[in-house]
Amino acid sequence: MLERIFHHWERRLAAVSDDDRVVRPFDWGLDWIPLNGHGPDVPPGRILADWVREIRRDTDRFFSAPPTDAYTFTADAGATGDDPPGLLTFPSAFTTPHPANNIVYGRYFPGRPARRPAGGHRRAVLVLPQWNADEGGHMGLSRLLAHHGLTALRLSLPYHDRRMPPELTRADFIVSANVARTVQVCRQAVLDARRAIAWLAGRGFDRIGVLGTSLGSCLALLTAAHEPLVRVQALNHISPFFSDVVWRGISTRHVRQGLEGHISLPELRRLWQPINPHNYIRRIRDRKTLLVYARYDLTFPVDLSRALVRKFARRQMPHDVTVLPCGHYTTGRIPFSLMDGWALTRFFERNL
């Protein structure tokens, strides 16, 4: 009975955005990748497969963010002290055709001094919100972390809020039926995260964690897998496969409509290997991880979430598991949002 109630609630909440969801045409996205000498007669799927094969040989290079000193930090009006809250901006390490998307924004919330641990360590959490989060998304969670002595830097994802070009109303270019663009824009998010972490390290933070929700959880795992400064990670709504969530979840039905008839799920899984968390599990075996999933989730199907938990258990990787008694959308509703926020905050308090 509870499952029926929550599934109905989830579908009703998902339907609120139906009018904004656009079925965009399928595209291999060859204009987003180097063609590496392939001629016009080579099938697009083969060109993409060769590109993915090259990435898989050296994902460190693919997810490498060149250092920058072009950071700008603006303290909030009226803020005082040596470590005020404010807005961080810097250039993305990956340039897209949309200038608005090439500037990264991060809201900085310094940890409450009275709650910081003794010993001189400075702790910070990079927060990566969910797909289509607006400018206020995860601000409350960031404040909660700061209240408990954990400095939080909440990053805007590519093509979200301030980074969205005027022709968009949703962040369609980071998850779409354009195969190569989806890979490249998710890569951009990881490069942005690594530059943000470098900024935190430059400010003296020696214990850095990453927290990601939904799409952000995938990006957080990719970041942790390639950024040695990340000590712990919290993955809030999880799956081993990016592709399978898009194919099966109720939030991405419009994306699947654009894909179907042009590409199969097994082929999509192969071409999205660079952003499938499954491929990077071995790289995070020494990081403590919190895995959070919702028992009645229709966006991140529960069998996928449990499969990732089993992978961690089989490999005897250090991890905690929190199962929320709700669904994906209802995680944002009280009391479930409070349960989720508390689990995430306590994890970082204890492990960072």
Report the alpha-carbon distance of residue 131 to residue 172 in Å, rounded: 9
295-341 pLDDT tens trace:
999 999 999 999 999 999 999 999 999 999 999 999 999 999 999 99
> Residue 261 carries which side chain, given as an amino acid letter?
G
User: pTM of the predicted model, to two decimals?
Assistant: 0.95
Please, are residues 81 and 111 in contact by the beta-carbon 8 Å criterion? no
Q: What pLDDT is recorded for position 119?
A: 67
| Contact of 131 with 164, CB cutoff 8 Å | no
Count CB neighbours of 76 within 10 A: 12
Burial (CB < 10 A; 0-12, 13-18, 19+), residue 214, is buried
pLDDT for residue 79: 83
Residue type, 175: V
What is the CATH architecture of 2-351?
A: 3-Layer(aba) Sandwich (3.40)
Give 82's pLDDT tier (boundaries 50, 70, 90): confident
pLDDT in tens, 132-185: 999 898 999 999 999 999 999 999 999 999 999 999 999 999 999 999 999 999
| Nearest alpha-carbon partner for 236 in 286, 189, 300, 186 | 300
**Does residue 206 contact residue 228 with C-beta atoms inside 8 Å?**
no
Peptide bond into 97 cis (omega under 30): no
CA atoms within 13 A on the CB side of 184: 21
The per-residue b/e assignment along 130-145, b for 16 or more CB within 10 angstroms, e otherwise, is bbbbeeebbbebbbbb
Encoded tokens for 174: 């980071």
For residues 78-104, average pLDDT: 94
Is 102 in contact with 156 (CB distance < 8 Å)?
Answer: no
Placement of tokens 């909660």 in the chain = 144
Q: Is the pLDDT of residue 20 over 90?
A: no
Which 3 state secondary structure label does DSSP give 84?
A: coil
Q: What is the DSSP track for 133-159?
A: --TTTTHHHHHHHHHTT-EEEEEPPTT
Q: For tokens 């089989």, what's the residue?
A: 314
